[in-house]
Chain A
Amino acid sequence: MATAGPQDGTQQTGGQEARRGAFSSRKVFILAAIGSAVGLGNIWRFPYVAYENGGGAFVIPYLIALLTAGLPFLFLDYALGHKHRGSAPLSMARENRKAEPLGWWQVGICFVIAVYYAVIIAYALRYTFFSVNKAWGDDPEGYFFGEFLQTSDPGVTLDFVAGVLIALLVVWAAVLLIMGLGVQKGIGATSVVFIPLLVLAFGFLVVRALFLPGAADGLDTLFTPDWDALTNASVWAAAFGQIFFSLSIGFGIMITYASYVGRRTDMTGSGMVVGLSNSGFELLAGIGVFAALGFMAQANGTAVDEVVADGIGLAFVAFPTIISEAAGGSLIGVLFFGSLVIAGLTSLISVLEVVVSAVRDKFDLRRLTAVLVVGVPATVLSVVLFSTTSGLLVLDIVDYFINQFGILLVAVVTMVVLGLALRALPGLAAHLNRHGSLRLGKVWMAMVAVVTPLALGYVLVRAFIDTVKEPYGGYPDWMLNVFGWGTAALVLIVALVITFARRTAVTPADETDQEVDR
């Protein structure tokens, strides 16, 4: 930590940072940002998306999406938070008063995500222990949906499932404890310990998977290029969608984390490390998952493409099958589900921090008070909606709609508003260029204001048309209207209400360049 200078401005800044909290170094920030970006999607979404969209050829649209949309958008988030030293709504308001609702929209989305994301971590936590004695017996699918979740018919019940409820309470207790400890001692310290552990555990899992019989067939299935796929628009949409959803951009997380970083930090150089770590981990996950699927196919005497799965099906049906059949399966299980728990937990913390930080900035609360104000309602909602026999159904709907018509929509709107309507990009580029190793100029602005909104807008319109044409997942209309469209709309309405219900004076961030003691 550098000196706090004698100037008044610096002392004032020191007070501000002491009040808001900060990461102690660039390394801690990078690990926390990686912890946020590397989540369940890296492990259970990327391998399937890559396989479905051209296999080895997918690397081309994927890299182009990373360079033209992912990293530029990441820098936009960094610039907002780092320049304005505030939560998502405060940073937006300091950029331009009219942009504040965008920040609250992001906060609302994060609240919704936190509420259901926790329950998936609870499942993974239970399965880490189930792996030891392979509790699912010889029917992993029946066990997961039946014995474990006791999944009901479509509808909403208040029949609580003790096995989920208890694990969910444990997850929330751990998360709120970490949040309560603060930015450095809670979030920072958790990332410094768990991200290296995640890489080690997952790396070990991949090496084990590569030595399973049939692993090469799995990799062959994943990496064999289908060059014709590159002429297909949906493949490019999938690449932009994957990069976007995987990198934790566009919904406030990176704005919030960047506001906790030292003022003279090289944010663009740090962003390159975060972005490539996230994609590098996805590649590792793809290799591990497909090696394991190759083994499963060989053990079942089928082709690999018949056992390919993603999401819940991959984690809680395919992997238990692999764990039961492979030598040393319990170890594979503990490593796989343990990795899901860690990757999920560090992402959940970042999602929740968006809300905690925004509430603190707006209502001037102490950290612990804000954690309770946000955490207690989130825990109650999480338990009531998702630890019941209908929990997985509601989760599936909320997850789909909040991703498409929450995260993706707010991202496109944000880029258009900041880039084209408010012309905020030159000022933000100048800010990052002061200490950044990668200079941002007209190319970056074109990517953020034109290329990325067009690409993501296309993905969004496709999703909208699909969802209107065919009810998502075959659920009853009322469920889709309430938990799907309803949730997405409610978040937007609440954002507007909060913005205008209590209009507080917005003072600009102190832009002194001095580092301060933390």
Chain B
Amino acid sequence: MSTEAIVMMVIAMLLLWGGLVVAVISLNRRPDPSDESYDPDHLHRDL
């Protein structure tokens, strides 16, 4: 493969796959309200 092709492949991977990883991480920082662990009632019981 030519250097130019490798560079473009790596850029595409970084942007799309890297972007996906960032999107997943930032979404997971916010709890899912429909998830049981987020339930305020459950939280009370745990406390």
Q: Which residues of A are in contact with B by a Cβ distance under 8 Å?
A: 1-3, 23-27, 55-57, 59, 63, 216-217, 219-220, 222-225, 261-266, 269-270, 272-273, 276-277, 279-280, 283, 287, 435, 437, 515
Given contacts A216-B1, A283-B12, A437-B27, contact A2 B34 (CB under 8 A): yes
A2–B38 alpha-carbon span in the complex (Å): 7
Minimum Cβ distance to chain A for residue B40 (Å): 7
| Residues of chain B lying within 8 A (CB to CB) of residue A273 | 20, 23-24, 27
A63–B12 alpha-carbon span in the complex (Å): 9
Which of B8, B19, B27, B38 meets A223, CB within 8 Å?
A: B8
A262–B30 alpha-carbon span in the complex (Å): 14
| Residues of chain A lying within 8 A (CB to CB) of residue B27 | 266, 269-270, 272-273, 437
- Find out whether the CB atom of B15 lies under 8 angstroms from the CB atom of A59: yes
Residue picked from A59, A220, A222, A276, most chain B C-beta under 10 Å? A276
7 contacts between A and B (CB under 8 A): A2-B33, A3-B40, A25-B35, A56-B9, A56-B12, A224-B8, A272-B23
A261–B32 alpha-carbon span in the complex (Å): 11
Q: A59-B15, A262-B33 are in contact. List 17 more A-B contacts (CB 8 A).
A: A1-B34, A2-B34, A23-B34, A25-B34, A56-B7, A56-B12, A59-B8, A59-B12, A223-B1, A223-B6, A269-B30, A276-B19, A276-B20, A279-B16, A283-B12, A283-B17, A437-B26
Minimum Cβ distance to chain A for residue B27 (Å): 4
Minimum Cβ distance to chain B for residue A201 (Å): 18
Given contacts A269-B27, A276-B16, contact A262 B1 (CB under 8 A): no
| Residues of chain B lying within 8 A (CB to CB) of residue A270 | 27
| Residues of chain B lying within 8 A (CB to CB) of residue A3 | 39-41
A27–B26 alpha-carbon span in the complex (Å): 14
Minimum Cβ distance to chain A for residue B20 (Å): 4
A435–B1 alpha-carbon span in the complex (Å): 46
Summarize B's interface: helix, strand, loop or mixed: helix
Residue picked from B11, B12, B17, most chain A C-beta under 10 Å? B12
Which of A23, A262, A277, A437 meets B20, CB within 8 Å?
A: A277
Q: How many A-B residue pairs have CB under 8 A?
A: 103
A270–B30 alpha-carbon span in the complex (Å): 11
Is B4 close to A, CB under 8 A?
yes
Q: Which residues of B are in contact with A by a Cβ distance under 8 Å?
A: 1-2, 4-9, 11-13, 15-17, 19-20, 23-24, 26-27, 30, 32-36, 38-41
| Residues of chain B lying within 8 A (CB to CB) of residue A223 | 1, 5-6, 8-9, 12
| Residues of chain B lying within 8 A (CB to CB) of residue A224 | 2, 4-5, 8
Minimum Cβ distance to chain B for residue A324 (Å): 26
A25–B27 alpha-carbon span in the complex (Å): 13
- Find out whether the CB atom of A220 lies under 8 angstroms from the CB atom of B5: yes
Which of B11, B26, B33, B38 meets A269, CB within 8 Å?
A: B26
Minimum Cβ distance to chain B for residue A276 (Å): 4
Minimum Cβ distance to chain B for residue A102 (Å): 29
- Find out whether the CB atom of A56 lies under 8 angstroms from the CB atom of B34: no
Minimum Cβ distance to chain A for residue B19 (Å): 5
- Find out whether the CB atom of B34 lies under 8 angstroms from the CB atom of A24: yes
Minimum Cβ distance to chain A for residue B1 (Å): 4
| Residues of chain A lying within 8 A (CB to CB) of residue B32 | 25-27, 262, 265
| Residues of chain A lying within 8 A (CB to CB) of residue B17 | 280, 283
A57–B12 alpha-carbon span in the complex (Å): 10
Minimum Cβ distance to chain B for residue A280 (Å): 5
B41 nearest in chain A by CB position: A3
- Find out whether the CB atom of A59 lies under 8 angstroms from the CB atom of B23: no
| Residues of chain B lying within 8 A (CB to CB) of residue A276 | 16, 19-20, 23
| Residues of chain A lying within 8 A (CB to CB) of residue B1 | 216-217, 219-220, 223
B9 nearest in chain A by CB position: A223
